[in-house]
Amino acid sequence: MPKAVLAEKTVEAPEGVTLELKNMKVTVKGPKGLLERDFTGEPIKMVVIKGDLKLSVAFPRKRELAMLGTIAAHVRNMITGVTQGYTYKLTIVYSHFPITVDIKPQEVIIKNLYGQRDPRKARILGDDVKVKVDGDEVIITGINKEHVGQTSANIQEICKLRGKFHKDPRRFMDGIWLSAQYVGID
């Protein structure tokens, strides 16, 4: 099978979204905000033509082909973020000890988890991520998919029991767990 001489992908910007490229830094502006990402050091050639981002690599190897698709996916996620946004919903589950969740600037504080006295703290990434508690749901919204997802993961991670306190998650469900994730901000 002959090797590819040139591999290309094009990321099209929808109406109302502008793509800018300067020194391998891609900036996406849209109705919900602005996102910027640095792709310096990647072996991909990028050019903005008529508002669309064209990615190409000559004589690609397996890694370069993978990076071509990865960078295109990152830029598409940025476009989705500035047009629609991302929302993750986590459900607060407890059987005996009622869990309380407080939101402070740049952190989520979980109290009375498993009846423990010490509060647990999870970091909120980025300034664009908004966290609110609505009954037994924690709702995380933002335009950066990575920040929203990592904030959700930080909250779930601090709810796990480890070591000699570890319990089987199929039978012992206390904690805060991801229940839904979708595109769009309410």
Domain final residue, candidates 62, 83, 104: 83
What is the reported pTM? 0.88
How do strand 6-11 and strand 18-22 relate by DSSP bridges?
Answer: unpaired
What pLDDT score does 36 carry? 96
What pLDDT score does 38 carry? 95
Per-residue pLDDT of the chain (186 residues; tens, 9 = 90+): 567 789 999 999 999 999 999 999 999 999 999 999 999 988 899 999 999 999 999 998 899 999 999 999 999 999 999 999 999 999 999 888 899 999 998 999 999 988 888 999 999 998 889 999 999 999 999 999 999 999 999 999 998 877 666 666 666 678 888 999 999 876
What pLDDT score does 160 carry? 82
C-alpha distance across the termini of the chain, in Å: 49
Q: What DSSP state is assigned to residue 177?
A: E
Please state, in angstroms and rounded to a whole number, the distance separating the CA atoms of residues 181 and 186. Answer: 12
What pLDDT score does 43 carry? 87
- Give the containing element (helix H, strand E) for 64: helix 62-83
Q: Are residues 157 and 102 in the same domain?
A: yes
Which structural domain, as residue segments, surrounds residue 129?
Answer: 86-183
What pLDDT score does 115 carry? 84
Q: Are residues 93 and 45 in the same domain?
A: no
What pLDDT score does 172 carry? 66
For residue 1, being part of any structural domain is answered with: no
For residue 116, being part of any structural domain is answered with: yes
For residue 119, being part of any structural domain is answered with: yes
Domain final residue, candidates 60, 83, 106: 83
Q: Are residues 157 and 178 in the same domain?
A: yes
Q: Are residues 77 and 93 in the same domain?
A: no
Q: How many CB atoms neighbour CB 2 within 10 A? A: 4
Q: Are residues 101 and 30 in the same domain?
A: no
What pLDDT score does 169 carry? 64
Number of domains observed in the structure of the chain: 2
Residue 134 belongs to domain with CATH number? 3.90.930.12
The one-letter amino acid code at 64 reads E
Q: Are residues 154 and 140 in the same domain?
A: yes
What pLDDT score does 71 carry? 95
Q: Are residues 90 and 75 in the same domain?
A: no
What pLDDT score does 39 carry? 93
